Structure 1
Amino acid sequence: MTAPSRRVLGTACETLAAADPALARAYDELGIPEWRVGEPCYAALCRLISYQQLSTTAAGRIWERTQAMFGEVTPEAVLAADPEDIRACGMSRPKVRHMISIAEAMTTGRLDLERVCTSDLDFARKELVSVKGIGPWTAELFLLYSVGAMDAFPVGDVGLMEAHKLLLKVETRMEIKEFTRHAECWRPYRGVAAHLLWGWINDRRAKAAQPSPQA
């Protein structure tokens, strides 16, 4: 997958900045965000599943062990493996079941990622979430990273809501429903807004973690 061009992202950021003061501040401080890019493949879905409800560090270690076990994480390899061996990498039982469910859907043709990549966004969403193990959050992130859908949007992502709160300099972040309604004003660039918010808060955390200069 190729990320949207900087020209396209710049146009989107200008539009978002005009629609939302929080995004205007993020764009002013961060500039055009780096677009996260992934391959539209089975392994990308499994990686997203492995990262659910875990810290980035812990999930990264689990995914590294999973990759080391398989060499290449493919539907055929997962279906041929002993589920307990996959669990030994650190995957929970539900996550292993989800990996198997998605592998079965792909080998039978119920899930066709090439079709997902070339379909309109609504159809792509429906095909992804029709498979057990792919929830809305996973589907939206796959559409963002692996398909490059500029209006894909992971509803309920705590990092996005926290970044928006901090940018507005308010005490309490929006509830999920309120935040989802608010994000409607970002269409058709909700995915770009997500990258702006993630990029801004990650940059903020990185600067906070830097040691203070010696006096």
Structure 2
Amino acid sequence: MTTAPSRRALKAACEGLALTDIALARAYDTIGVPVWRSEIPGYTMLGRMISHQQISLSAAAAIWARVEAHLGEVTAEAMLEADPEAIRLCGMSRPKAAHLISIAEAMVSGQLNLARVCAAPLDEARAELLAVRGIGPWTAELFLLYAVGAMDAFPAGDVGLIEAHKRLGKYETRMESKAFTAHAARWRPWRGAATHLLWGWLHLDRARDPTP
């Protein structure tokens, strides 16, 4: 079962954010309360996020479809029973295949318990995710956003967020990742809501003008 903030809580967060940052105010004026992205917590969710890193959406979807065709139901147990070379032949890079296996091992051993993660305070949940080889900060924050509905989860360094903020704020250049993370500190405890505002605006803007 997925968890997302209520529309009332998200609206209150957006109204507060609009008072702290002109870029977020413009995003809110344009799209209103954003739709919160939600997914069911599980190995499939984590595996899909790993497969989608640093490649185009279309390429990632094709690769993941081949993994699903090979494994059937994508579970941690099925991944551990599979031939790693067969997973690589689906289009996975060697590091990604290794990460899929290490995450599966952590889940099967009990080192990573996603029910526990979803119920834990944010810092504890983040620490349990990051303790697993193959789960980096970006993947951990996306899990906390999508599966936990954490209002202050924040995928620092996400290029889409930085680009949306630059354009909405009418800045000449993008902030560097470190500067953007420092800037986003003023959005606490609603950085997850700010993330959805920026993503929502960027999605709408790209739909209006799909040219690169």
TM range (shorter): over 0.9
Give the aligned residue type for 2:164.
A
Q: Structure 2 CA distance, aligned partners of 1:50 and 1:58?
A: 10
- Tell me how far apart the structure 2 counterparts of residues 135 and 2 of structure 1 sit (CA, whole Å): 22
Query: What does residue 178 of structure 2 align with?
Result: 177
AA aligned to 1:107 is: V
- TM-score with structure 2 length normalisation? 0.97
User: Which amino acid in structure 2 is aligned with residue 3 of structure 1?
Assistant: A
Deviations 1:62-96 (A, max 9, x none): 11221222221111000000011111211111001
Deviation at 1:60, TM superposition (A): 1.4
SS of match in other structure, 1:19: coil
Output the amino acid matched with 1:181: A
Name the structure 1 match of 2:66: 65
What is the one-letter code of the residue matched to 1:207? R
Give me the whole-angstrom Cα distance separating, in 1, the residues matched to 2:41 and 2:113.
Answer: 10
> SS of the residue aligned with 2:19?
helix
Matched positions, count: 210
Matches within 5 A, 1:22-171: 22-171=23-172
Which runs of 5 or more residues in structure 1 are unaligned? 211-215
Deviations 1:92-139 (A, max 9, x none): 110010010011111111111111000000001110010100001100
Per the alignment, in what secondary structure is the counterpart of residue 106 of structure 1?
A: helix
> Scaled by the length of structure 1, what TM-score is found?
0.95
Which residue matches 1:15? 16
Corresponding residue for residue 6 of structure 2: 5
State the alpha-carbon separation in 1 of the partners of residues 90 and 80 from structure 2: 16
Misfit runs of 4+, over 6 Å: none
Q: Aligned partners of 2:107 and 2:3: how far apart in 1?
A: 23
Q: Using the TM superposition, give the Cα deviation of residue 5 of structure 1 relative to its aligned residue in structure 2, in angstroms.
A: 1.5
Identity of aligned residues (%): 65
Residue type matched to 1:137 in 2?
W
Structure 2 unaligned runs (5+)?
A: none
Q: Which amino acid aligns with 2:65?
A: E
